[in-house]
A and B are shown apart, each in its own frame.
Chain A
Amino acid sequence: MTPSPEAATGEIHKSFLFWKRGVYAKCALALSIATIALYFWHRPAGTANGGTLLGYSLGVLGLGLIMWLAWFGLRRRHYGGTGLLEGTFSAHVYFGLALVVVATLHTGFHFHWNVHTLAFVLLLLVVASGIFGVYGFWRYPEMMTRNRAGMTLSTMTRQLAALDLTCRQLALTFPDEVVALVMDATAPVAAGGGWRAIGFDRVRDEKRRQNMAVIARVRRELVEGAGATPAAVLPLVQSLTQRVTLIERLYRDRQLRLLMLQWRAVHVPLTVALLVALLIHIVVVFYDW
């Protein structure tokens, strides 16, 4: 029996962290411990800084790691985003974390308002966004699958369009007030801008409140105002309610997808910026040697 696609996804999106029993996690941990030990063993003349023998060594090591980690992103793009090599991804994650240790020790804990500290801060932001990305990969796919209930985005949006038209059609047999309410309720939703949509829960709750208010008014309008029978009202109210459920799913889906993917909007541009800042850092350090 072949495993269901969902189960397979659930395995793959987490297993990279334990690839080959976490061999890269162990390597990265060993690297971190080794550099920390070297840092405390090394007794530089003056204070520890990036210009001592160990400082230069850590700098070269950090540069190498950054180039290799950035190369991973380029290669991923080259493979079209699907040929993700699990082992390489595992190494990318763990050596990215070890890079923080290496880079921090390279600084010797000297931070100032300059291009050198800028490069370090960019590095921290890149790693932090990467950590969030890993967390998203770990957590959100399952939630997305659950939320979609077997549907795709395309299915859901087509259903929503159909429900909109159904509601409007059903409303036509009721008085003008009801038609106006239903037309308002089914006016196409704007999902909102990229970053604002991460205020998901607030947006979603607001939408739900509006929609439920519309449904309540439609019922009141029909049953009390027009004196329609509940049986006549039921199809319209049912369709409206289905529509609200579907819209909530869509908002939730968008929210989860943003949470899972939006970190790349930080990770990638900041990586490019980091490489530039790093280049300036190196040039400047040796320009004014």
Chain B
Amino acid sequence: MALIRFVQAGRNATILGAATWLEDSEIRIGRASDCQLKLMHAAIAFHHAIMRVTGDGLILQAAPGAVLGPADQLAQAMRLAEPGDTAQIWPYRLTLAEADALGGFTVSVEQIGPVAEDEALLARRYFDAFECALPNVRLWGFALSCAILLLFFALPAVFAPHEIARPASALAHPNGAPRVGEVALIRLAGLWNVGTNSRAHGAFAGNCAYCHEQAFVPVRSSACLACHQGVGRHADPAIAPGADIGKQRCETCHYEHKGIMVATRDRQADCVACHGNIALVAPRTSLKNVLDFATNHPQFRPALVQDAKLHLTKRFEIGDFSAEDHSNVRFTHATHLKLDKLKTSVAANGCAFCHQPAPGGVTFKPVQFDHACSSCHTLQFEPKHPEWQLPHGHPEEVASRVAGYYARAALAGETFQDPTSEPFFKPGAPPPAPAPTGADMVPYKTAQVMMSSIARSLCGDCHTTVPPAAGQPASSWTVAPVFVPDTYMPASLFSHARHATTSCGTCHAAKSSDGGPVSLLPGIATCRTCHAGEAGGVGRVASTCASCHRFHDDQHPLVTAAAMASMAGARSTMDTRATGLRP
């Protein structure tokens, strides 16, 4: 029977049942209360190991599932034979001491590692885990800023402007589709683009420098005029110096990057600023003041023909009884629309029976004799031969045509009853001279037809005819030149097509029109039934000045040839962009 005792070494060992001599041949080591050596550590099992005394010393045998240390030399069994031999059970080191006189084994137990975690360290770990460490806001801010600078500034700045030197057409692939790289460049430039480009300028939308020629300088008009060379002036600078748009920027009124259409300034106030008191800016103008279409706009002044040959017109106010139109056509709608035959045709075809819209629908094609008049107005001059007609539109051929007819008749031996001779004559009076026959008949009948037909019944029905000068033969009767303008209000943008939803009679009182155009053209009151001023109105269309008037109006009475010449001069001084390539 050997004796074993465990002694505590070091300060921290916490063993139970130490220092007592044990007589057992098997010593139980573990956490359980029935263990002779109780080592309280979480890694040590309830019954961790058994120590036996043998002839070779002490054998330490681990329980199934338990191990003996140290950690780098784990074992199931260990032997403590010589004094100084050690074994380890987790933080405890067992050392065999020198045998004492009685031959008992003394095993010193020393705690060489911590039994429990350090509380302060554990608390620190918990503190670190539960404390909110905020992200490094400076770092994130810096990183974000760098990303934005790179993507939104550096890339567009470096790559997009490389397109400057190329003309717009080079942006497009020969087949029309832009190349991939170009799409990328356009997208990059788009990061600076303040808004959608208009369709018209979309072809060079990726090429900022095409219009923005110089950095930090607003777009110059020269950039616009390089393409828009035909743009007209507003007024003759000689008459209205303030209206010289050569001194203004296109951008004042036209805005790009505002959607698929180029936005254009359209404000009544801008126009009224000058036109409200036009004499201040253009003392010599014939224009009248205007404030608003609905409330303060002059009555219309159609341009009536004064000289059909020279196409000279003069403006008369609607309702002006002194208005005269010298288009040299005698025609009234009132007379014609009363005719039964015409009533039927007009009822079937409307005004289009005579009036065909011109291409574009703004105006109408000129009314043609062959189309509109000839079905009623035949130009036969001799009832015996209705197939012989006067040539319409060729007054210079009329006399020869008539003379030719009678010459042919004379050769054929035909005679004609003289329409001027009376079948009865006064008793006692000498009988009228018989009509000439044969060769004499030709000049006689020709003069007769020219007198009656040209001057009165045939040509003269509709045309102003001009009698022969004194001493000239009757065959010199002629028809005055005709000029019927396609519009009587050249300064307005009125389009008949745009008003096709309403009937002609709404504006044109054709049935009661018994004069020239003056009696047929509507006055401002007619327009005002549908059109209000800029402010609009209930059931009425809001209409600004630009609704009816062009700003760049080369045809405007005020825009003279001199003004156009000065415009052309201004263009020639502009930069070299007109060649298509920029410096």
* Residues of A that sit less than 8 Å from B by CB: 43, 45-47, 49-51, 110, 112-116, 118, 153-154, 156-158, 160-162, 164-165, 168-169, 171-173, 175-176, 179, 183, 188-191, 194, 197, 250-251, 253-254, 257-258, 261-262, 264-265, 268-273, 275-277, 280, 283-289
Contacts and interface: CB of A to CB of B under 8 A. Distances in A.
B40 interface: yes
Given A157-B130, A188-B129, A115 B141 contact: no
A179 B42 contact: yes
B117 A165 contact: yes
A112 B137 CA distance: 28
Given A114-B191, A114-B193, A289-B216, A47 B123 contact: no
18 contacts: A45-B253, A46-B263, A46-B264, A49-B194, A116-B194, A164-B117, A165-B116, A165-B122, A172-B41, A176-B45, A194-B132, A254-B130, A254-B132, A265-B137, A269-B138, A272-B145, A284-B192, A288-B212
A270 B196 contact: no
A173 B33 CA distance: 8
Given A45-B265, A165-B119, A265-B134, 16 more contacts: A46-B255, A49-B258, A112-B193, A156-B130, A157-B130, A165-B116, A176-B45, A194-B134, A261-B132, A265-B140, A268-B140, A268-B141, A270-B141, A273-B145, A276-B148, A280-B148
Contacts of B300: none
B267 interface: yes
A188 B127 contact: no
Question: What are the 3 tightest A-B residue pairs by CB atom distance, in nearest-first order?
Answer: A272-B141, A269-B140, A157-B126
Contacts of B116: 165, 168-169
A177 B103 CA distance: 40
A277 B152 contact: yes
B434 to A, nearest CB: 86
Nearest to A45: B265
Given A172-B42, A176-B45, A271-B141, A194 B125 contact: no
Interface string B264-292: 11010010000000000000000000000
Interface of B: 31, 33, 40-42, 45-46, 116-117, 119-120, 122-127, 129-135, 137-138, 140-145, 148-149, 152-153, 190-196, 208, 212, 215-219, 253, 255, 258-259, 263-265, 267, 270
Contacts of A161: 119-120, 122-123, 125-126
Given A157-B123, A157-B127, A250-B130, A172 B148 contact: no
Contact of B42 (A45, A171, A269, A275): A171
A191 B132 CA distance: 10
Contact of B144 (A191, A194, A269): A269
B44 to A, nearest CB: 8
Contacts of B126: 157, 160-161, 188-189, 250
Contacts of A258: 132
A235 B195 CA distance: 73
A150 B484 CA distance: 102
B475 to A, nearest CB: 66
A162 B119 contact: yes
Contacts, number: 172
A194 B133 contact: yes
A131 B138 CA distance: 21
Nearest to B152: A115
A115 B153 contact: yes
B142 A191 contact: no
B148 A190 contact: no
A114 B194 contact: yes
A176 B44 CA distance: 9
A275 to B, nearest CB: 8
Contact of B192 (A115, A190, A251, A273): A115
Contacts of A43: 267
A113 B42 contact: no
A288 B45 contact: no
B123 A276 contact: no
A114 B193 CA distance: 7
A162 B122 CA distance: 9
B134 to A, nearest CB: 6
B265 A46 contact: yes
B257 to A, nearest CB: 9
Given A112-B193, A114-B192, A153 B131 contact: yes
Nearest to B146: A276
Nearest to B121: A161
Contacts of B152: 115, 118, 277, 280
A247 to B, nearest CB: 9
A164 B122 contact: yes
B331 to A, nearest CB: 47
A264 B135 CA distance: 9
Nearest to B269: A43
Contacts of A113: 190-191
B135 A115 contact: no
A264 B117 CA distance: 37
Contacts of A175: 46
Contacts of A283: 153
Nearest to A162: B119
A272 B149 contact: no
Nearest to B117: A165
Contacts of A160: 123, 126
Contacts of A254: 130-132
A179 B44 CA distance: 10
A269 B137 contact: yes
Contact of A168 (B42, B137, B140): B42
A249 to B, nearest CB: 10
A5 B120 CA distance: 29
A188 B123 CA distance: 10
Contacts of B193: 112, 114
A286 B218 CA distance: 8
A174 to B, nearest CB: 8
A129 to B, nearest CB: 11
Contacts of A288: 192, 208, 212, 215
Contact of A115 (B144, B191, B217): B191
A205 B190 CA distance: 49
Contacts of B133: 194
Nearest to A190: B129
Given A158-B123, A268-B141, A46 B134 contact: no
